[in-house]
Protein backbone atom coordinates (compact mmCIF):
# COMPACT_ATOMS: atom_id res chain seq x y z
CA UNK A 1 0.00 0.00 0.00
CA UNK A 2 1.15 3.54 -0.69
CA UNK A 3 1.59 5.54 2.49
CA UNK A 4 0.86 9.26 2.34
CA UNK A 5 2.76 11.30 4.93
CA UNK A 6 1.26 14.72 5.39
CA UNK A 7 2.79 17.54 7.41
CA UNK A 8 2.29 19.39 9.56
CA UNK A 9 -0.62 17.72 11.36
CA UNK A 10 -1.80 21.14 12.49
CA UNK A 11 -0.85 24.76 12.04
CA UNK A 12 -1.90 28.15 13.27
CA UNK A 13 -1.56 31.15 10.98
CA UNK A 14 -2.80 34.71 10.74
CA UNK A 15 -5.30 36.00 8.23
CA UNK A 16 -3.35 36.93 5.11
CA UNK A 17 -0.52 34.50 5.77
CA UNK A 18 0.80 32.07 3.21
CA UNK A 19 0.11 28.49 4.31
CA UNK A 20 1.96 25.47 2.95
CA UNK A 21 1.19 21.80 3.52
CA UNK A 22 3.33 18.96 2.24
CA UNK A 23 2.45 15.41 1.33
CA UNK A 24 4.98 12.68 0.64
CA UNK A 25 4.14 9.37 -0.99
CA UNK A 26 5.98 6.20 -0.04
CA UNK A 27 6.54 5.51 -3.75
CA UNK A 28 6.21 7.47 -6.96
CA UNK A 29 2.62 8.27 -7.88
CA UNK A 30 3.22 10.54 -10.88
CA UNK A 31 0.65 13.32 -10.50
CA UNK A 32 -2.20 11.08 -9.26
CA UNK A 33 -2.87 13.20 -6.22
CA UNK A 34 -5.82 15.21 -4.96
CA UNK A 35 -6.31 17.71 -2.15
CA UNK A 36 -9.53 18.02 -0.16
CA UNK A 37 -10.86 20.50 2.35
CA UNK A 38 -13.14 19.29 5.14
CA UNK A 39 -15.00 21.51 7.55
CA UNK A 40 -16.46 20.11 10.80
CA UNK A 41 -19.56 18.03 10.28
CA UNK A 42 -19.33 18.28 6.49
CA UNK A 43 -18.26 16.02 3.67
CA UNK A 44 -14.86 16.69 2.11
CA UNK A 45 -14.62 19.03 -0.84
CA UNK A 46 -12.25 18.50 -3.75
CA UNK A 47 -9.97 21.51 -4.21
CA UNK A 48 -7.08 20.29 -6.36
CA UNK A 49 -6.92 17.28 -8.68
CA UNK A 50 -4.05 15.74 -10.62
CA UNK A 51 -1.66 17.48 -8.20
CA UNK A 52 -1.99 20.97 -9.63
CA UNK A 53 -5.38 21.48 -11.29
CA UNK A 54 -7.79 23.79 -9.53
CA UNK A 55 -11.29 22.37 -9.30
CA UNK A 56 -14.00 24.49 -10.91
CA UNK A 57 -15.30 27.16 -8.57
CA UNK A 58 -12.42 26.92 -6.11
CA UNK A 59 -10.72 30.26 -5.34
CA UNK A 60 -7.36 30.85 -6.95
CA UNK A 61 -5.65 31.40 -3.58
CA UNK A 62 -5.53 27.59 -3.40
CA UNK A 63 -2.86 25.81 -5.44
CA UNK A 64 -0.99 22.54 -5.65
CA UNK A 65 2.28 21.37 -7.10
CA UNK A 66 4.55 18.37 -7.25
CA UNK A 67 5.02 15.05 -8.96
CA UNK A 68 6.48 11.68 -8.11
CA UNK A 69 6.71 11.48 -4.33
CA UNK A 70 6.65 15.06 -3.09
CA UNK A 71 3.67 17.39 -3.23
CA UNK A 72 2.79 20.81 -1.87
CA UNK A 73 -0.54 22.50 -1.20
CA UNK A 74 -0.58 26.27 -0.73
CA UNK A 75 -3.05 28.89 0.40
CA UNK A 76 -1.49 32.16 -0.74
CA UNK A 77 -3.46 34.41 1.61
CA UNK A 78 -5.36 32.72 4.43
CA UNK A 79 -8.95 33.77 5.01
CA UNK A 80 -11.15 32.97 8.03
CA UNK A 81 -13.33 30.71 5.89
CA UNK A 82 -10.30 28.53 5.12
CA UNK A 83 -10.36 27.12 8.64
CA UNK A 84 -10.67 23.40 8.00
CA UNK A 85 -8.75 20.16 7.80
CA UNK A 86 -6.97 19.44 4.54
CA UNK A 87 -6.17 15.99 3.18
CA UNK A 88 -4.06 14.70 0.32
CA UNK A 89 -5.14 11.48 -1.42
CA UNK A 90 -3.45 9.28 -4.01
CA UNK A 91 -5.18 7.36 -6.77
CA UNK A 92 -2.12 5.80 -8.40
CA UNK A 93 -3.38 2.40 -7.33
CA UNK A 94 -5.69 0.58 -4.93
CA UNK A 95 -6.09 0.87 -2.04
CA UNK A 96 -6.71 4.58 -2.35
CA UNK A 97 -4.99 6.24 0.58
CA UNK A 98 -5.19 9.58 2.33
CA UNK A 99 -2.68 11.61 4.24
CA UNK A 100 -3.37 12.03 7.95
CA UNK A 101 -4.75 15.53 7.51
CA UNK A 102 -3.64 19.05 8.42
CA UNK A 103 -5.86 21.09 10.70
CA UNK A 104 -5.56 24.79 9.86
CA UNK A 105 -6.49 27.31 12.54
CA UNK A 106 -6.40 31.08 12.80
CA UNK A 107 -3.81 32.58 15.12
Instruction: Please tell me whether residue 37 binds another protein under the rule CB under 8 A.
Output: no
Instruction: Please tell me whether residue 67 binds another protein under the rule CB under 8 A.
Output: no
Q: In the window 15-34, what residues touch another protein (CB under 8 A)? A: 32, 34
Q: Which residues of 87-101 are buried (b: 16+ CB within 10 A; e: fewer)?
A: bbbbeeeeeebebeb
Select the residue interacting with another protein from 43, 60, 81, 107 (CB under 8 A). 43
Instruction: Please tell me whether residue 89 binds another protein under the rule CB under 8 A.
Output: yes
Non-local (6+) Cβ contacts of 85 within 8 A are 37, 38, 39, 101, 102, 103, 104
Residues in touch with another protein (CB under 8 A): 1, 32, 34, 36, 38, 43-46, 49-50, 55, 87, 89, 91, 94-101
Amino acid sequence: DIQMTQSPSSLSASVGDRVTITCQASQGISNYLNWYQQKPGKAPKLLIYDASNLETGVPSRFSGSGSGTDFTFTITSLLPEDIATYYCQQYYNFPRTFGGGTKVEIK
